[in-house]
């Protein structure tokens, strides 16, 4: 076996006799180029049968998962024991899978009054928080906690729905408690098992025989379903999501060819097949709200296609929903390269969706780093195909994500101002920039981690710290700053991060310094690094060192230390020195800087 593509995996029968031999082959290293991922899995049930499903389903994501399973229903014993198998090989991800049946028999039993429910929830929270802290004390790996599916039995039976405290409500509260715990802890995420059970259906989810024989609660079908979804979470935990979805038009956003059938002749509306395309468009809008950028690469007459986007009453996507539009007769690979240039993102940030197998193949060949979705023949399958590809699986969605398309459209206005300005200074002055800089705390941590994870270009060291690692740096005395930048066209959001830490007595080093590509070339780095210099000097240090680690993409950051008055220490451009006593603090006349919270 040389490879295992998504289409191969989707065709498999959900049976151990199919998945076990394939999982063995993957584990034996038969498929090259996979990234190993160690997962420590603690469960309140027998979870080992999930292994072949997780291993096989994670393969199309380029992952080779190695799972360690804790003994049945042991959490604290394993978590608190530094010599536990959970840590013997340092895990990349720790999964805590509790079912409500084992975690709180009282809640699972149902028909309890509110005060008992509150007590149960409080002790459940205390227990799970203890587990999270226990894991955190021993590893910085992200933690994935299963939320609670409805139990198989409803305690009050048919009457549950009319009780003052229905069981379903208590379980929702328990899940809200888990979500709150995840939001307020670093590197903790929720595996939405509740949603998964609903998707498959409670009747198909549970297997009484397997449960009574071996404490395996799930049917083989459910096991595969869990493995498939878990693979998406693992992928989302370790890889930055893609940024932009490049779409074809004819037979993708609507049925038929607008150039031949005319605006009135295409299928798009409330009747099948037009309703399937409209539903797909609605889904694409939901992706846009998650922060995905939409673009068009279509072979068409621009006038015909734009008429649909502007005027068709059932076209939900309008020209302003797209950050880049390439309609013409260029080949698609050229259009895709143009989108990447225009958005200033790497080609590996793009996803391509086109009903034509020929176009998909040519893009795949030209740009292997673009994720090309296997589009099924029927528009009924479009949404699932895109979801299964996991290209836009965000485990958190920030305010910056939600308004990303607007941000790019503001960027277009900035670009036109830039073209009108006669020199760069005039442009920077005309932007009327204001920066806010503050210390990283729990309200900004997730966004900071997100920027560290995905910023490639203006990033001096490309260190991908997770939340737990930042917390550790802070505990060790580091300074971590965020920066927001506004200008006359809008708020660019939290787009800069700097971390400095003491290296030895009175010598500090810049651990990380990055700017989102949106604000490169605006001297914002001078504002941010300037405050790092000031704060390090105030700490009594004598010297601040800057480090530049070249990557395939971070050339734009190569000169930042030289530009800010640092002196080269090695002639290679790797290490730079700023003297806290004699050095001038980097500044910029174009940005009004405010330090928030002192």
Partner 1 sequence: MDRLKAVVASVLRIPVTSVTDDTSPDVVKTWDSLAHLNLVMALEVEFQIALSPEDAMEMLSVGLIRAILKERGVEILEGGER
3-state class (DSSP) for residue 394:
coil
Task: Tell me how many helices (H) and strands (E) the chain has.
Answer: 26, 19
Question: Binder to partner 1 among 8, 16, 72, 263 (CB under 8 A)?
Answer: 16
Closer of 52 and 255 to partner 1 (Cβ): 52
Contacts 24+ apart (CB under 8 A), 71-74: 72/43, 72/45, 72/46, 72/215, 73/43, 73/44, 73/45, 73/102, 73/215, 74/42
Closer of 211 and 283 to partner 1 (Cβ): 211
Closer of 47 and 292 to partner 1 (Cβ): 47
Burial (CB count <10 Å: 0-12, 13-18, 19+), residue 301: middle
Q: Is 17 in the site for partner 1 (CB under 8 A)?
A: yes
Burial (CB count <10 Å: 0-12, 13-18, 19+), residue 416: exposed
3-state class (DSSP) for residue 111:
coil
3-state class (DSSP) for residue 513:
strand
Q: Is 115 in the site for partner 1 (CB under 8 A)?
A: no
| Residue 377 CB neighbours (<10 A) | 9
Q: Which stretch binds partner 1 (CB under 8 A): 16-24, 83-91, 257-265, 341-349?
A: 16-24
Residue 460 DSSP label: S
Closer of 48 and 113 to partner 1 (Cβ): 48
Of 450, 440, 425, 474, nearest in space to 187 by CA? 450
Q: Which stretch binds partner 1 (CB under 8 A): 19-27, 92-100, 168-176, 540-548?
A: 19-27
Q: Is 311 in the site for partner 1 (CB under 8 A)?
A: no
Q: Is 21 in the site for partner 1 (CB under 8 A)?
A: yes
Could you tell me how far CA 421 lies from the centroid of its own chain? 37
Q: Which stretch binds partner 1 (CB under 8 A): 14-22, 154-162, 341-349, 534-542?
A: 14-22
Closer of 13 and 396 to partner 1 (Cβ): 13
Q: Which stretch binds partner 1 (CB under 8 A): 12-20, 90-98, 349-357, 534-542?
A: 12-20
Question: Binder to partner 1 among 1, 5, 7, 13 (CB under 8 A)?
Answer: 13
Query: Closest separation between CB of residue 17 and partner 1, Å?
Result: 4
Closer of 28 and 162 to partner 1 (Cβ): 28
Residues numbered 354 to 413 that lie near partner 1 (CB under 8 A) are: none
Question: Binder to partner 1 among 9, 43, 44, 49 (CB under 8 A)?
Answer: 49
Query: Closest separation between CB of residue 239 and partner 1, Å?
Result: 31
| Residue 7 CB neighbours (<10 A) | 11
Closer of 74 and 279 to partner 1 (Cβ): 74
Closer of 195 and 215 to partner 1 (Cβ): 215
- The owner of tokens 């990380």 is 512
3-state class (DSSP) for residue 517:
helix
3-state class (DSSP) for residue 595:
strand
Of 344, 375, 382, 342, nearest in space to 360 by CA? 375
Residues numbered 171 to 230 that lie near partner 1 (CB under 8 A) are: 209-210, 212-214, 216, 220
Q: Is 24 in the site for partner 1 (CB under 8 A)?
A: yes
Query: Closest separation between CB of residue 8 and partner 1, Å?
Result: 17
Q: Which stretch binds partner 1 (CB under 8 A): 7-15, 36-44, 232-240, 330-338?
A: 7-15
Q: Is 18 in the site for partner 1 (CB under 8 A)?
A: yes
Q: Measure the CA–CA gap between 539 and 533, rounded to whole angstroms.
A: 10
Backbone region of residue 73 per phi and psi (left: phi > 0; alpha: psi in -120 to 50; beta: other values): left
Closer of 69 and 561 to partner 1 (Cβ): 69
Q: Is 71 in the site for partner 1 (CB under 8 A)?
A: no
Q: Applying CB under 8 A, what is the total number of residues that bind partner 1?
A: 18
Question: Binder to partner 1 among 6, 8, 10, 20 (CB under 8 A)?
Answer: 20
Query: Closest separation between CB of residue 39 and partner 1, Å?
Result: 18
Q: Measure the CA–CA gap between 448 and 461, rounded to whole angstroms.
A: 15
Backbone region of residue 381 per phi and psi (left: phi > 0; alpha: psi in -120 to 50; beta: other values): alpha
Residue 448: φ, ψ to 5°: -65, -45
Query: Closest separation between CB of residue 25 and partner 1, Å?
Result: 11
| Residue 176 CB neighbours (<10 A) | 12
Question: Binder to partner 1 among 6, 8, 10, 14 (CB under 8 A)?
Answer: 14
Q: Is 15 in the site for partner 1 (CB under 8 A)?
A: yes
The site for partner 1 (CB under 8 A) is made up of 13-18, 20-21, 24, 48-49, 209-210, 212-214, 216, 220
């Amino acid at each position: 076996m040389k490879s295992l593509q998504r289409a191969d995996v989707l065709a498999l029968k959900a049976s151990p006799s199919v998945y076990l031999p394939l999982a063995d082959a993957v584990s034996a290293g038969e498929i090259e180029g996979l990234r190993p991922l160690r997962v420590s899995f603690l469960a309140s049930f027998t979870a080992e049968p999930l292994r072949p499903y997780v291993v096989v389903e994670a393969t199309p994501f380029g992952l080779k998962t190695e799972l360690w399973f804790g003994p049945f229903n042991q959490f604290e014993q394993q978590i608190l024991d530094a010599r536990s198998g959970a840590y013997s090989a340092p895990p990349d991800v720790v999964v805590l899978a509790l079912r409500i049946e084992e975690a709180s028999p009282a809640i699972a039993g149902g028909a309890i009054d509110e005060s008992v429910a509150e007590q149960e929830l409080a002790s459940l929270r205390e227990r799970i928080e203890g587990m999270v802290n226990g894991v955190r004390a021993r590893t910085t790996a992200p933690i994935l906690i299963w939320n609670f599916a409805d139990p198989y039995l409803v305690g009050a039976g048919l009457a549950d729905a009319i009780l003052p405290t229905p069981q379903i409500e208590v379980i929702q509260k328990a899940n809200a408690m888990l979500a709150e715990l995840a939001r307020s802890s670093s590197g903790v995420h929720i595996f939405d098992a509740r949603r998964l059970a609903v998707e498959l259906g409670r009747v198909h989810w549970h297997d009484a025989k397997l449960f009574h024989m071996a404490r395996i609660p799930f049917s083989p079908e459910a096991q595969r379903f869990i493995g498939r979804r878990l693979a998406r979470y693992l992928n989302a935990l370790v890889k930055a999501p893609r940024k932009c979805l490049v779409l074809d038009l004819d037979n993708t956003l609507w049925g038929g060819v607008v150039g031949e059938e005319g605006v009135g002749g295409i299928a798009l509306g409330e009747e099948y097949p037009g309703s399937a395309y409209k539903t797909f468009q609605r889904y694409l809008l939901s992706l846009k709200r998650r922060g995905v950028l939409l673009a068009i690469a279509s072979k068409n007459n621009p006038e015909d296609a734009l008429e649909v986007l502007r005027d068709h009453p059932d076209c939900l996507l309008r020209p302003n929903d797209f950050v880049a539009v390439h309609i013409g007769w260029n080949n698609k690979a050229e259009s895709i390269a143009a989108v990447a240039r225009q958005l200033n993102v790497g080609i590996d940030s793009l996803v391509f969706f086109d009903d034509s197998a020929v176009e998909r193949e040519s893009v795949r060949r030209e740009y292997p780093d673009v994720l090309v979705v296997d589009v099924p023949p029927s528009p009924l399958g479009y949404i699932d195909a895109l979801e299964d590809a996991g290209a836009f699986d965000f485990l958190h969605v920030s305010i910056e994500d939600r308004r990303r398309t607007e941000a790019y459209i503001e960027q277009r206005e900035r670009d036109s101002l830039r073209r009108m300005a006669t020199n760069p200074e005039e442009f920077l002055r005309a932007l009327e920039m204001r920066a806010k800089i503050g210390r990283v705390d729990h309200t900004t941590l997730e966004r900071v981690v997100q920027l560290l994870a995905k910023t490639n270009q203006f990033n001096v060291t490309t260190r991908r710290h997770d939340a737990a690692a930042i917390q550790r740096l802070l505990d060790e005395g580091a300074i971590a700053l965020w920066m927001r930048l506004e200008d006359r066209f809008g708020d660019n959001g939290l787009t800069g991060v700097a971390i400095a830490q003491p290296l030895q007595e009175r010598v500090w080093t810049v651990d990380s310094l990055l700017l989102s590509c949106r604000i490169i070339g605006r001297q914002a780095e001078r504002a941010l690094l300037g405050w790092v210099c000031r704060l390090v000097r105030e700490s009594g240090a004598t010297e601040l060192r800057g480090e530049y680690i070249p990557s395939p993409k971070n050339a734009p950051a190569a000169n930042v230390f030289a530009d800010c008055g640092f002196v080269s220490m090695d002639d290679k451009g790797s290490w730079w020195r700023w003297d806290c006593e004699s050095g001038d603090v980097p500044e910029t006349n174009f940005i009004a800087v405010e330090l928030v919270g002192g």
